[in-house]
A and B are shown apart, each in its own frame.
Chain A
Amino acid sequence: MAASGNTRLRLETVKLTALFGQLRAVRDVSLLFPAHTVTAIIGPSGCGKSTMLRCLNRMHELTPGASVTGEVLLDEMNIYAAGVNAVELRRRIGMVFQRPTPFPTMSIYDNVAAGLRVNGRKPGAEISESVERALQQAALWDEVKDRLHTSALALSGGQQQRLCIARAVAPQPEILLLDEPTASLDPAGTQRIEELCHALKTLYTIVIVTHNMQQAARVSDYTAFMYLGSLIEVGKTNEIFTKPKVEQTEAYITGRFG
Chain B
Amino acid sequence: MTGVVVLFSFVAVLALVLILGNLLLKGATSINWDFFTKNPVPAGQTGGGVANAIVGTGIIVALAALIGVPIGVGAGMYLAEYGGGRFGFLVRFVADVLNGTPSIVIGIVGWTFIVRPTGHFSALAGSVSLAILMIPMLARTTEEMVRLVPNSLREAALALGYARWRTSLKVVARTALGGIVTGCLVGIARIAGETAPLLFTALGNLNFSLSVNHPMQTLSLQIYVYGTGPFEEWHRLAWASALVLMGLVLIISLAARWVTRQRYGSIR
User: A residues near B, CB below 8 A?
Assistant: 57, 59, 62, 64, 87-91, 94-95, 97, 99, 101, 103-105, 107, 114-115, 118-119, 149-151, 153-154, 164, 167-168, 171
Can you spell out 25 A-B residue pairs with CB atoms less than 8 angstroms apart?
Answer: A59-B155, A59-B158, A62-B155, A62-B158, A87-B162, A87-B163, A89-B161, A90-B158, A91-B160, A99-B152, A101-B152, A101-B153, A101-B156, A103-B153, A103-B156, A103-B157, A105-B175, A105-B267, A107-B268, A114-B160, A119-B161, A150-B268, A151-B267, A153-B266, A167-B160
Give the size range of B's interface with the partner: 20 to 34
Decide if B171 is an interface residue (CB 8 Å cutoff): yes
Q: Whole-angstrom distance from the CB of B158 to the nearest CB of chain A?
A: 6
In the bound complex, CA of A167 to CA of B155 (Å): 14
Interface residues in B152-194 by Cβ distance below 8 A to A read: 152-153, 155-163, 166, 171, 174-175, 177
Decide if B3 is an interface residue (CB 8 Å cutoff): no
Query: Shortest 10 CB-CB distances between A and B: which pairs?
Result: A91-B161, A101-B156, A95-B159, A115-B160, A90-B161, A151-B267, A105-B174, A101-B152, A87-B163, A118-B161
In the bound complex, CA of A154 to CA of B266 (Å): 8
Q: Whole-angstrom distance from the CB of B247 to the nearest CB of chain A?
A: 33
**Interface membership of chain B positions 117-160, coded 1 if the CB is closer than 8 angstroms to chain A and 0 otherwise:** 00000000000000000000000000000000010110111111
Q: Whole-angstrom distance from the CB of B206 to the nearest CB of chain A?
A: 48
Q: Which one of A57, A115, A171 has the greatest number of beta carbons of chain B within 10 Å?
A: A115
Q: Are B161 and A115 in contact (CB under 8 A)?
A: yes
Q: Are B161 and A153 in contact (CB under 8 A)?
A: no
The interface residues of chain A lying within 8 Å CB-to-CB of B150 are 101
The interface residues of chain B lying within 8 Å CB-to-CB of A171 are 160-161
Decide if B84 is an interface residue (CB 8 Å cutoff): yes
Interface residues in B222-268 by Cβ distance below 8 A to A read: 266-268
The interface residues of chain B lying within 8 Å CB-to-CB of A107 are 268
Given contacts A90-B160, A94-B160, A95-B160, 12 further A-B contacts (CB under 8 A): A57-B159, A59-B159, A87-B161, A87-B162, A97-B155, A101-B155, A103-B156, A104-B175, A105-B174, A151-B266, A154-B266, A168-B159
Q: Which one of A90, A99, A164 has the greatest number of beta carbons of chain B within 10 Å?
A: A90
Q: Whole-angstrom distance from the CB of A236 to the nearest CB of chain B?
A: 29
The interface residues of chain A lying within 8 Å CB-to-CB of B266 are 151, 153-154
The interface residues of chain B lying within 8 Å CB-to-CB of A154 are 266
The interface residues of chain B lying within 8 Å CB-to-CB of A114 are 157, 160, 162
The interface residues of chain A lying within 8 Å CB-to-CB of B84 are 64
The interface residues of chain B lying within 8 Å CB-to-CB of A150 are 268
Q: Are A168 and B155 in contact (CB under 8 A)?
A: no
Interface residues in B81-116 by Cβ distance below 8 A to A read: 84
When C-beta atoms are compared, the residue in chain A nearest to B173 turns out to be A105
The interface residues of chain A lying within 8 Å CB-to-CB of B160 are 90-91, 94-95, 114-115, 118, 167-168, 171
The interface residues of chain A lying within 8 Å CB-to-CB of B155 are 59, 62, 97, 101
When C-beta atoms are compared, the residue in chain A nearest to B177 turns out to be A105
When C-beta atoms are compared, the residue in chain A nearest to B85 turns out to be A64
Q: Whole-angstrom distance from the CB of A231 to the nearest CB of chain B?
A: 23
- The verdict on A97 contacting B267 (CB below 8 Å), with A87-B162, A103-B171, A103-B175 known, is no
Q: Are B162 and A97 in contact (CB under 8 A)?
A: no
When C-beta atoms are compared, the residue in chain A nearest to B149 turns out to be A104
In the bound complex, CA of A150 to CA of B150 (Å): 22
The interface residues of chain A lying within 8 Å CB-to-CB of B268 are 107, 149-151
In the bound complex, CA of A103 to CA of B171 (Å): 7
When C-beta atoms are compared, the residue in chain B nearest to A103 turns out to be B171
The interface residues of chain B lying within 8 Å CB-to-CB of A101 are 150, 152-153, 155-156
The interface residues of chain A lying within 8 Å CB-to-CB of B152 are 97, 99, 101
The interface residues of chain B lying within 8 Å CB-to-CB of A164 are 156
The interface residues of chain A lying within 8 Å CB-to-CB of B177 are 105
The interface residues of chain B lying within 8 Å CB-to-CB of A64 are 84
The interface residues of chain B lying within 8 Å CB-to-CB of A168 are 159-160
The interface residues of chain A lying within 8 Å CB-to-CB of B162 are 87, 114, 118
The interface residues of chain B lying within 8 Å CB-to-CB of A119 are 161
Q: Whole-angstrom distance from the CB of B83 to the nearest CB of chain A?
A: 12
When C-beta atoms are compared, the residue in chain A nearest to B152 turns out to be A101
When C-beta atoms are compared, the residue in chain B nearest to A64 turns out to be B84
When C-beta atoms are compared, the residue in chain B nearest to A59 turns out to be B159
Q: Which one of B152, B156, B163, B267 has the greatest number of beta carbons of chain A within 10 Å?
A: B156
In the bound complex, CA of A95 to CA of B157 (Å): 10
Q: Whole-angstrom distance from the CB of B15 to the nearest CB of chain A?
A: 38
The interface residues of chain B lying within 8 Å CB-to-CB of A105 are 171, 174-175, 177, 267
Q: Whole-angstrom distance from the CB of A240 to the nearest CB of chain B?
A: 28
In the bound complex, CA of A105 to CA of B265 (Å): 11
